[in-house]
Structure formats: C-alpha cells, structure tokens
Amino acid sequence: MAFRVCKSFEIENGHMLSKHPDKCRFPHGHTRKVECILAADSLDANQMVCDFKVVKSLIGDFLEQYDHALCMNTDDPEYAHFKAVYGDRIIGFEHLDPTTEVLAQTVFEHLRDSLGAYIVGAQASYPLRACVRLEKVRVWETSSSWAEYWE
C-alpha cells in the first residue's frame, strides 16, 4: 500500500497555440491549477510522505515565472516581436505549442530533477527520503479540463 500527497498551486497564465485551427491560436489566458502528486510506500518519522514546504520550495519559483506570462511556440512568426516587447514575460517553447499537456510535462520534469537534487543534499530540518517519488503532475486549464503527465 502506498501513500500519496498533493500540493496545489494556482497561476494566471496565457498561451498561444500557433498550430490550432481556431481561436486558441490567439493570445488568451487561464487560471491554472497545478497539482504535484508525490508518493511513498511508507511514512517518515513525522508520519508524512514529505513536508509540503519541501514541494513548495522546489517548484514555487519555477511556477512563478509562468504567472502572468505568455507561453509561445518559438516557431510562431510573432514570437520574436512579443519577446522583444515583453521580455521575460514571454516564455518560448522550442518548436512546440505550449499546450496544457506540454506544460504538465515541463513542470513534471523540473520537479522530478529538483527532487533528485534535494534528496542528495537534503537539509536536516526538512529531510526527504530517497523513496519519495513524483507520481504525476496535473495542470488544470479550466475548471472542467486538465492534462497530466507521469513517467
């Protein structure tokens, strides 16, 4: 039997889907909920999978860059113009439309790598056991639509 925990974050994020045949090819935004689900087969000495503070410290700043930012495919003909005008508030996705699925994968990969690095140098006040694994990341695009990614 395994234990699972979820830490959720909310960001206001826009994107343009240049490959989309309809309205989604234009700039638009979403109130996104990002759920990070971690699991372990046992609880630690504090009866936790891990402290939620660890998850926040590993993903909070990363997600902050997406808050009030516009994600764009670097192949979009307007990408260079938007980047020049809005700078770091434009986040380029190399040759990919920044769909909710792609965003879920991006967040997952960042958190997975951050968890691995944190375990190696775990701080005594908030230890993280090597058995804690990132199970999946779910990104809500609207209140009724989400995408998730796991390995």
Mean pLDDT of the chain: 95
* Mean pLDDT, range 98-103, rounded to an integer: 98
Q: For residue 62, is it within any domain?
A: yes
Residue 144's alpha-carbon distances to 31, 44, 122, 128, in angstroms, are 12, 35, 37, 33
Cα 112 to chain centroid, rounded: 10
pLDDT of residue 127: 85
DSSP 52-90: HHHHHHHHHHHHHTTTTEEEEETTSTTHHHHHHHHGGGE
> Which tens digit of pLDDT belongs to each residue from 59-95?
999 999 999 999 999 999 999 999 999 999 999 999 9
* Mean pLDDT, range 92-107, rounded to an integer: 98
pLDDT of residue 70: 98
**What interhelical angle do 100-120 and 52-64 show, nearest 10?**
130
Whether pLDDT at 18 is above 90: yes
CB atoms within 10 A of CB 91: 19
Q: For residue 86, is it within any domain?
A: no
Instruction: For the chain, give the percent of residues with pLDDT over 70.
Output: 97
Whether pLDDT at 121 is above 80: no
CATH of the domain at 108: 3.30.479.10
Domain hosting residue 40, numbered range: 3-71+97-149
Domain total in the chain: 1
User: Where residue 44 falls among pLDDT bands split at 50, 70, 90?
Assistant: very high
Q: For residue 79, is it within any domain?
A: no
Q: For residue 63, is it within any domain?
A: yes
Instruction: For the chain, give the percent of residues with pLDDT over 90.
Output: 90
Q: For residue 67, is it within any domain?
A: yes
Q: For residue 108, is it within any domain?
A: yes
* Mean pLDDT, range 34-53, rounded to an integer: 95
